[in-house]
Amino acid sequence: MSSRLNIVADAHIWGVESAFSELGGFNAKLTMLESRDITREALLDTDILLTRSSTKVNAELLQGTPVKFAATATIGDDHYDKQWLDDNGIVWANAAGSSTGSVIEYMITSLLHLHVNGLIAIPESSIGIIGVGRIGSVLAEVCEAIGMKVLRNDPPRARSEGNEGFSTLDELLEQADIISLHTPMIRDGEDATAHLLNAQQFNRFKGVGIFNAARGGCVDNAALLKWLDGDASRFAALDCWEFEPRPMISLLQHPQMAIATPHIAGHSLDGKAANTLYVHRALCRFLELDAAWDMQARLPSIPPPLHVDYADDHWFSLYRAASALYPIMDDHDSMKGWVECTATELPRAFTGYRRHYPVRRAWQHAWVHFDTTDAILLQLADAFGIKIV
């Protein structure tokens, strides 16, 4: 590769211009495009391609282009045809692990919301976690630390590590009050996750709640809708939807859709910045450069501590803190407001909300002050990752 470097990047990658305009000794030309404009024709003189999840990177896009490196500033990479990229000598990368903390904060706030609204009782509930990788492993540790029974389901890990400590999907369906998905989208093979939860599984599920913060298509949304209709005590909390950015309106408007958010669980400002940092580091490794981009210098200063009034109930006090750090119901209310959207307006609302998402700082950069020294409350806050000052 010559010292001239043509880079095409999705214009909505956080900090893209500061991260990729200057790259060591290369004469870098950065072109920022809307995802709809990232076409094969636009890449005919491109060396490096940087995308988000809305761009499918495959033979149709890259055949006949000079692209030698492609990276997605997202955790998931099922929009990349990785086998074709490997077969054609194109190096690829993702940002797996960058938004783990943000998704955990989403899950914690969701669990607390469900608890204070009487849909679950956290200490008495069991949670089945499907996919015990970066996010699922951390979630399992948090849930155990706050007293929940945790069942871990991860067939690839069980095969390589042994069955001890892992549960089958059948066991989750029989024993878990809540099932939460944290898997990649795998369409074929022994570990396929497409419609992993379908009508057959829902018919056997004895619990009350479904979380999906993984990939929309891992849950058959039509089957989920029918399952919700079967019992008024059931609920769903979805951040990922089948057919994004056109989720099923009938599912979105269902009264038992307890938490509905438009694929923003990992969208804290710090999570989005980390996405860019991971991609920047991967590109620098490919170019054999030292990674010099200073992500922290681009982030705003740490906000002042939040003051939270203590309530007699530990869980309600923690919910006050968590929802102040992350007002999840603002996201929920916004998405629920789209039920009257036309078929044209809905994907625009879904995509637009994600692109112009309000600033939300990671909890590691936010402090909370409770007007109490209650030891149990402080212990639970620590388990949740809420920093007390």
pLDDT digits (tens, 9 = 90+) for 43-85: 999 999 999 988 999 999 999 999 999 999 998 888 999 999 9
What pLDDT score was predicted for residue 2? 52
pLDDT band, very low/low/confident/very high, at 371 (cuts 50, 70, 90): confident
Instruction: Show contacts of 345-350: CB within 8 Å, 24+ apart.
Output: 346/245, 346/246, 346/247, 346/249, 347/245, 347/246, 350/244, 350/245, 350/246, 350/247, 350/262, 350/263
Q: pLDDT tens, 157-216?
A: 999 999 999 999 999 999 999 999 999 999 999 999 999 999 999 999 999 999 999 999
Highest mean predicted confidence (pLDDT) among 308-317, 340-349, 362-371: 340-349
Closest among 302, 249, 253, 260 to 106, alpha carbons compared: 260
| Residue 132 · residue 140 · CB < 8 Å | yes
Query: Position of tokens 């008495």?
Result: 124
Return d(Cα 121, Cα 130) in angstroms, integer: 21
The dihedral built from the CA positions of residue 246, 247, 248 and 253, taken in this order, carries a sign that is negative
For residue 386, give every residue at least 6 positions away whose Cβ sits within 8 Å of its Cβ, in sequence order, or none: 318, 321, 322, 325, 363, 368
The alpha-helical segments, DSSP class H, found in 162-232 are 169-175, 199-204, 221-229
The domain defined by 100-266+309-388 folds into Rossmann fold (3.40.50)
Structure tokens at 137: 């492993």
Handedness of CA 267, 293, 279, 18 (dihedral sign): positive
4-94 and 100-266+309-388, same CATH topology: yes
Global pTM exceeds 0.75: yes
The pLDDT of residue 1 is above 60: no
pLDDT band at 304 (very low <50, low <70, confident <90, very high): confident
Contacts with 123 (C-beta within 8 Å, 6 or more apart), sequence order: 146, 147, 148
Q: Sign (positive/negative) of CA torsion 224, 145, 98, 325?
A: positive
When the pLDDT of each residue in the chain is averaged and rounded to a whole number, the result is 95
Reply yes or no on domain 4-94 having CATH 3.40.50.720.
Answer: yes
Contact in structure between 267 and 354 (CB atoms under 8 Å): yes
Peptide bond into 245 cis (omega under 30): yes
Say if residue 22's pLDDT is above 80: yes
Residue 211 · residue 176 · CB < 8 Å: no
What spatial distance separates the first Cα and last Cα of the chain, rounded to whole Å?
51
Catalytic residues: 215, 244, 263
Q: Which of 40-54, 294-308, 342-356 has the lowest mean pLDDT?
A: 294-308
Domain residue extents for the chain = 4-94, 100-266+309-388
Contact of 128 with 205, CB cutoff 8 Å:
no
Bridge-based pairing of strands 178-181 and 306-308 is unpaired
